[in-house]
Copies of this chain bind each other. A is one copy, B any other.
Amino acid sequence: MTIGVRRRMGVEERRQQLIGVALDLFSRRSPDEVSIDEIASAAGISRPLVYHYFPGKLSLYEAALQRASDDLAARFVEPRQGPLGARLLRVMGRYFDFVDEHGPGFSALMRGGPAVGSSTTNALVDSVRQAAYVQILSHLGVTDPPARLELVVRSWISLAESTALIWLDGRRIPRAELEVQLVHDFAALMAVSAAYDEEMGALLRRVIEAEPADGHFGDLVGRLVGLAG
């Protein structure tokens, strides 16, 4: 019988609980609209007790963002088996799950501003981009990427961010369509680079050869040929 009995939490447990409560609030509204009072109330503790664990709202925001960043980075991890297109599509599905769960907070963070733009928050955003970059390179089987491949992968990651932000602003296109589109965009950006560079051409051929004819990349190529014809 624990109903009505408030168990006393340990320091680390209380910190983790506060981070969870704060992350939930920071996800659902722009962080500058969330007050310490509200976090205290949602956690069922007093405002001074929040300050006992975190010196201020920024440090609590940074701790919440650290947890969200770890979560998002983990969503780019995907077993190295099966066609690349199908792997990327599963990653995009988990990426949009995250964006969906943290919509307003994700928008506020990525659009920048005084409430969210500390050097710590910028470093956390960069760490997620770097984790995504490393994962995608490993799926391509590349350890020492040429500059043109680095550009394609990093700029595609930013394309996924901007696509997600535009989606959040009104959700006028079904997210499932955008997940597939981003997989196709990856192939398209690779192909544009490969059209003018031998090394990228060889890499693209290796990727395409491992794809099934009825996979995501094959379907796109078929449709594009139809469009050109």
Contacts and interface: CB of A to CB of B under 8 A. Distances in A.
Interface of A: 111-114, 117-119, 122, 147-148, 150-151, 154-155, 158-159, 161-163, 166-167, 170, 172-173, 177-178, 180-181, 184-185, 188-189, 191-196, 201, 204-205, 220-221, 223-225, 227-228
5 contacts: A112-B117, A151-B173, A154-B162, A159-B162, A201-B227
A85 B163 CA distance: 23
Count copies of this chain in the complex. 2
A162 to B, nearest CB: 4
Q: Secondary structure of the A side of the interface?
A: helix
Contacts of A224: 191, 195
A193 to B, nearest CB: 7
Nearest to A204: B227
A49 B177 CA distance: 57
Nearest to A147: B172
Contact of A192 (B113, B170, B172, B181): B181
A63 to B, nearest CB: 18
Counting chain B CB atoms within 10 Å of each CB, the highest count among A180, A181, A194, A225 belongs to: A181
A120 to B, nearest CB: 10
Contact of A227 (B118, B158, B166, B195): B195
Contacts of A148: 173
Given A122-B113, A151-B163, A189-B188, A223 B204 contact: no
A80 to B, nearest CB: 25
B173 A162 contact: no
Given A111-B122, A117-B114, A196 B221 contact: no
B188 A191 contact: yes
B172 A196 contact: no
B155 A162 contact: yes
Contacts of A185: 188-189, 192
A29 to B, nearest CB: 17
Contacts of A195: 184, 220, 223-224, 227
Given A154-B162, A158-B162, A181-B192, 9 more contacts: A114-B114, A114-B117, A151-B163, A154-B166, A155-B159, A159-B162, A185-B192, A188-B191, A192-B220
